[in-house]
Amino acid sequence: MIKQAIIGKKVGMTQIFDENGKVIPVTVIEAGPCVVVQKKTVERDGYAAVQLGYQPTKEHKLTKPEAGHLKANNVDMMKVLKEFRFGDDSAMNAGDVIKADAFKAGDKVDVTGISKGKGYAGVIKRYGAQRTPTTHGGGPVHRHAGSMGACSTPSRIFKGKIGAGHMGAEQVTVMNLNVVKVDAELNMIAIRGAIPGPKGGIVYIKNTAKTNRVKNTVVTVSTNPQKKSARG
């Protein structure tokens, strides 16, 4: 269930020192401000969702359907639109602004972005395949894919077979990252670790879908007489 969500832009990576002097690698994200463009309801649209807009732009840079959609909801022209299905959106209305302070330090978040495109890559770089033997007449094909399967049966290549092709430039979600610092004035969120995409890439941040449980740190005494802890 989504409780908080925001659209942002990846600024880059840096380091933050905690109170113990430990270095924390973080990715800085310019998060928001985002405008609630549209609020969808089950009665009208068949499902409940909230559409957020990010990065103000000029009308002539949008298509007529995009501009008309924004005008119909009486909001400014926005370059990026994204829907989120919040668990409780009763307090949200068109025109409301969501800022970086929707999150706080210590929150666990999932970050979605488009990974860097690597272009056309071979099977070794793309999937980590093994090179063919370099002796006994291997020839100049050491980094090729090699045999792709049987011949007469099944007389085809099964779907999902690894091979050369376009690498990267696909949607990637990194889950359960820690929010280290939030600066509401600068609309900046510092998240521990790396996130997908290049500098300037659009990312979507929402509270994590994973369930974080606190480990039981209480030391219990065994009742088994064969164990030392039970014998006292």
* Local structure of 144: helix, strand or coil: coil
Share of the chain above pLDDT 70, in %: 96
- Residue 229, pLDDT > 70, answer no
Would you list the domain boundaries of the chain? 5-117+170-226, 118-167
| Residue 142: per-residue pLDDT | 87
Of 210, 179, 173, the closest CA to residue 193 belongs to 179
Please give the mean pLDDT across all residues of the chain. Answer: 87
Considering the entire predicted model, what is its pTM? 0.81
Q: Report how far Cα 202 is from the mean position of its chain's Cα atoms.
A: 10
* 3-state DSSP assignment of residue 169: coil
State the pLDDT at residue 111.
94
Most distant CA pair in the chain: distance in Å?
81
Q: Is the peptide bond before 154 cis (omega within 30 degrees of 0)?
A: yes
Task: Encode pLDDT of 191-213 as tens digits.
Answer: 999 999 999 999 999 988 888 77
Q: Which phi and psi (to 5°) does residue 231 adopt?
A: -80, -5
40-99 per-position pLDDT tens digit: 888 888 888 889 999 889 999 999 999 998 888 888 898 999 998 888 777 788 888 888
Q: Which residues of 68-103 are buried (b: 16+ CB within 10 A; e: fewer)?
A: ebbeebebebbeebbebebeebeeeeeeeebebebb
Per-residue confidence at 32, pLDDT binned at 50, 70, 90? confident
Summarize pLDDT for 124-141 with one digit per residue, the tens.
999 998 888 888 877 788
**CB 41, CB 18: distance < 8 Å:** no
CATH number of 5-117+170-226: 2.40.30.10
The Cα–Cα gap between 38 and 18 comes to 40
| 48-52, 121-125, 170-174, 221-225, range with the lowest pLDDT | 221-225
